[in-house]
Structure 1
Amino acid sequence: MTDKRVPHTVIWHDKLVAGFRRTSDRLSDNLDSLFNKERLEASTLDEIEDALIASDLGPVTASRVRDRLEDERYDRDIDEAGVRAVVADEVAKMLAPVAKPLEIEAFPRPQVILVIGVNGSGKTTTIAKLAHLFQEQDYQVMLVAGDTFRAAAIGQLKVWAERIGVPIITGAEGSDAASLVWEGVKQGTAIGTDVLIVDTAGRLQNKAGLMDELAKIRRVLGRLNPAAPHDVLLVLDATTGQNALQQIEVFGRETGVTGLVMTKLDGTARGGVLVAAAERFKLPIHAIGVGETLDDLRPFDPKEVAGLIAGV
């Protein structure tokens, strides 16, 4: 019997196309008015640079595109298709160094991953999707409901843990998060868990409290494994645009972020912020989210995403 199931790579590509369509359309809207003539003129270079910045691609990428267009204009005429090709190439160059899947390499196990981010960024759902991604790679995963300030966050993570079939360490609302992490490492070590993913409170507005809590978690982890936490992942909501960049700056300064996960790229016109984040902070972007199902969070191909953003 022939297996007629659609390969996952095809489904993922289709969702990427849909997810970045509004970003590409926004870029088109910003560029279209500049090409009312058949060929690119020198006077439009500054306007193209401004259009790219308006599309959230960041000033460095925009400047690199402008410089290339200026150099190549003297060799041949470049129309809108040529501009898009240059944009795709420069965006791919910007994304390539940061498109790094999260590797599970810690020894001794478990690899401890702290997940941080403001409330509403999709943090809890992202943890479930990450856990599912690791399960697909045959890793044993355990969760810790460390956002003890919100009973809803604890309940939501418990539901996800049951759904994907992974153990979870929880406590009552107001429990000590560091104690839960301690228990998670102990139990995870005992049963041979590869990955321990820890939810944390999303209290950016109270940086002192957040820092105190994370410092305590780090002290506790240090007594069990000096290398832990091995990763501190910041979850970002792409729909917030430039505000996402501000969050990287604050959280990075306050919490020692080691990598990023960008969610809610499906249908948003703010997908260019992915490029701006890569350009400005150079932090690994381990995965992007383009949908609501468990399979909708994946590492990405920088060349593929660059082409979709540029509309080529």
Structure 2
Amino acid sequence: MKRARYEQPKKKKKRRRLAATIAFITAVVACAAVICLLMFFNISDITASGLVRYTTQEIVDASGIQIGQNIFAIDSKKVQQRIKERFPYVDQVRLHRYLPTSVELEVVETQAAVAVVGAPDRYTLLSKSDRIVEQVQDVSTEGLPLVVGTDFTQLPVGFEATQEALDTLEKQARDNQKKKLDPPPLLEETRQALDVMVMVHYVLDAAEQTGFEGIRYIDVSDPLCLTVLYEDRVLIKLGTELELPYKLKFAATVLEESGDYFSGTVDVSLSATNQRAYSREEDIMPLLQEDYLEGYY
């Protein structure tokens, strides 16, 4: 019994010494690693790729990355945010680290997908990711489908009409309401823009799925009756966004049967339920949006 009582404290001391030794070694290794990072991984070369509209120097300057900065100290999310805020046609930025000292910014640029007709001689170009990439006075050479029945000219370049942006603004509005502050700016504008872009995407996606070409504009003024202009001669009434691929296929069949010289209206808004379309040869100019008539017809 006496011998057992003697050995127990010795085992505890050995364990303490071992733990202390391991802790010391770990600390030394950690310090050595930090010193290596600070001494041997400082950036000496920054490049950018995938550029069409912008230069490498512009992208590097906007990124905030500096020569001599530690390669592991870069926050890639902040880098992307800085670049996208400055350059609206940048859709994505991927950061590549090439040890020991090189960094590449891989840029994915976007293109305008539609033009929203606003005030006279004012058009808002939107990318596929619902980002305002430019406000222009003339889009006659762009060849883009036009969106009529709304106005985005009051929204700033770089503005993104996304569900994430809307959720952020609505949360801020609730917080401000508790504090009895004003709602955040662009809350209503974001809601309206998001609703519009959802409808536009439905139409464009359906047209792509069915191979329906020749859409000149999309009228979103009445969400229960979406209307598209086909080749400046036929106004197609689609109704709601439900069953749009089927409706466009039906419309394509009617247009083929009507011939290349038909000018008027085609109503396929109920075709998904009754398999019927209604066409009428008529002057469509009084039915077109005034802004479109002034600039394009």
TM-score (norm 2): 0.22
Greater fraction helix: 1
Greater fraction strand: 2
Which structure has the bigger radius of gyration? 2
TM-score (norm 1): 0.21
Bigger relative CO (Cα 8 Å, ≥ 6 apart): 1
